[in-house]
Amino acid sequence: MTTFLQILVNGLMLGGLFAIVSIGLTLIFGIVKVVNFAHGEFLMAGMFITWLITTRLGLHPYAAVIIVVPALFVMGALTQRLLIQPLMSARDDHVQIFATVGLSTALINLALLIFGADIANTPAHGLRAPISLGPVRVLTGQLYIFGAAIALVVALHLMMKHSQIGRAIRAVAQNRSAAELMGINVNRIYILSFGIGAACVGLAAVLIAPLYPTSSNIGTYFVLTAFVVVVLGGLGSIPGAFFGALLIGMLDALSGFYIGSDLREAVVFGVFLVILILKPSGLFGNRRALSHLS
Amino acid sequence: MLKLENIHAGYGPTTILQNVSLEVKEGEIVTIVGANGAGKTTTLRTIAGLIKPKQGSISFCGEDITRLRGDQVVDRGITLIPEGRQLFGDMTVRENLLIGAFRAAARANHERRLDEVLSIFPRVRERLDQAAASLSGGEQQMVAIARGMMAQPKILMFDEPSLGLAPIVVSQVFDIVRQIAGTGTTVLIVEQNVYTTLKVADRGYVLENGQIVLEGQSEALLNDDHIRQAYLGI
């Protein structure tokens, strides 16, 4: 019983990790309607900055949040302004996809140039120490990630529902030309939204860096699961990404223990396929949100 | 107040409007009538900054607004209530109205404005917390008008407000247009419903194939032979 509980909690913690990586990706897709294939490299950039700040300045890794989150916001905003916005009139979504794939490749190679191919270990400052929660044990850092993922979902929800800028963002996401008629500067909302989405993955980077070794290809490692999570939850849905991530985390942990760790991915993708066959728009998605993709 | 001079405009390589000039004075109700495809919607979208004219100029309160973006035009005090309502369907009616007050000049006192606007639309008040998409067509048109009013524009432009509505709702819509004009807001209205619109408006322009073919006081237009034959079927 304790084993089962422990595995369940492991799955939850893994889910929290997937969630915090995925939220920014689904946010950008939901508003700007661009699939950001450089999302994983944004994560990688954030982790390297966290590593630099922690090792060079000897600070606690979480202190890096003050630099990393604004830095990633700027990186996202610039990506939208300088890369995506000039392509938005292209009318063909594939052009934007190629642009973000290109950005991804460029960032990976830039990281190789600056940091080399070695692995960068961010000092853990106790975040890899286990703590007991009743009968089960989790890593301190994992618990913080889980809490941060919930806090982020709640914060974004409150912002979208109750602030005028949040309403403006939702208006642009739903009907771009009607939003313009309300006096909303649509391009500015896109820049802001891309920035917020990147800032979210910046927060993820700070929290993940002390637990996982940073390297130029770490983004690819996380982002494949993030894409599964985002599609499973319903493209553009923040609660969808959160619960989709928890489901994937649990499936991963349970099948890894009870079926065999080499079959984990078969189970995860198997369930993913079944859900998509039953509900093609994802768990929390609505058909209309996808209509522009057809 | 609003002046279009020799406007040529269209989509891509096609030119729809040819040499359109018109003027709206403060406090007036002006209408542009014409058949489907005559360029009425294109005229409003050009004023609203959604289409950039190929030639000509648009000025508003003495300022040249020809090259402004849509959101900048709204900031100057020109609001368009688009054809087909274009509500934010997944958002509540209240949220739709609050978004209407996004314009900087309207944001500060939006609570008071919401009360004023809702006093004109008692039915909308009952639906405030429902999703906009769940409303009937007539109710949605009322929300679209109320949302436009939330911006506190100097001039409010209506694009086919009676389209697809039951006759009784159509007459309510025109009553509201009259009421809005009564509060001092200038109105520019585009319609296929020629007779009713000319009854409400002070002046009118007749648009055919992208060109203004006739203009004048509403009564004069209602008695014009060409209008009577082509649009009123008399």
Instruction: Label each residue of A94-116 as H, E or C.
Output: HHHHHHHHHHHHHHHHHHHHHHC
Instruction: Examine residue B32 and state whether it is found in any structural domain, yes or no.
Output: yes
Answer whether residue B224 is part of any domain.
yes
In this prediction, residues B138-162 reach a mean pLDDT of 95
Q: What is the tally of structural domains in chain B? A: 1
Probe site for chain A from B99, B109, B110, B152 (most A CB atoms < 10 A): B99
- pLDDT tier, A287 (very low <50, low <70, confident <90, very high otherwise): low
Q: Is B186 inside any structural domain? A: no
Judged by CB atoms closer than 8 Å, whether chains meet at B48 and A178 is answered as: no
- A185, B107: Cβ pair inside 8 Å? no
Residue B39, in any domain of the structure:
yes
Mean of all residue pLDDT scores within chain B: 94
Task: Please give the Cα distance from A179 to B137 (Å, whole number).
Answer: 20
Is B111's Cβ below 8 Å from some Cβ in A? no
Closest CA to B158 of B122, B193, B210, B114: B193
3-state SS assignment for residue A53: helix
pLDDT at A45 over 90: yes
**pLDDT band for position A288 (50/70/90)?**
low
Q: Is B63 on the interface with A (CB under 8 A)?
A: no
Q: Which domains does chain A carry?
A: 2-293 (1.10.3470)
> Is B148 inside a domain boundary?
no
Q: Which residues have a Cβ under 8 Å from the Cβ of B7 and sit 6 or more positions away?
A: B17, B19, B20, B21, B43, B46, B53, B55, B56, B57, B58
Residue (of A11, A57, A30) closest to A200 by Cα position: A30
The whole-angstrom separation of Cα A128 and Cα A121 is 12
Assess if residue B207 is contained within a domain.
yes
Alpha helices in B67-224 (DSSP H): 70-76, 93-100, 104-107, 110-120, 122-126, 137-150, 167-182, 194-200, 218-222
Dump pLDDT digits (tens) for A75-86: 999 999 999 999
ipTM for the complex?
Answer: 0.91
Beta-carbon contacts below 8 Å between A and B: 65
Per-residue pLDDT at A291: 43
Q: What is the pLDDT of residues A221-245, one digit of tens each?
A: 899 999 999 999 998 999 999 999 9
Q: B222 lies in a domain? A: yes
CA–CA distance, B7 with B57 (Å, rounded to integer): 6
Percentage of residues of chain A with pLDDT beyond 70: 97
Q: Which of B69, B91, B103 sits opposite A170 (nearest CB)?
A: B91
Percentage with pLDDT > 90 across chain A: 87
In whole angstroms, give the CA distance from residue A287 to residue B172: 35
Q: The domain that contains B214 carries what CATH number?
A: 3.40.50.300
Q: Please report which confidence band the pLDDT of residue B233 belongs to, taking 50, 70 and 90 as the band edges.
A: confident
User: How far B149 CA lies from chain A's nearest CA (Å)?
Assistant: 11
List, as ranges, residues 123-152 from B with C-beta within 8 Å of A: 147, 151
**Residues from chain A contacting residue B89 (CB–CB below 8 Å):** 174
Cα A194 from Cα A197, distance rounded (Å): 5
The predicted-structure confidence for B39-70, as pLDDT tens digits, reads as follows: 999 999 999 999 999 999 999 999 999 999 99
Q: How far is A8 from chain B (nearest CA, A)?
A: 36
B63 is a domain residue: yes
Q: Which domain holds residue B207?
A: 1-77+157-163+191-234
Interface membership of B82 toward A (CB under 8 Å): yes
Token pair for residue B216?
Answer: 């004048």
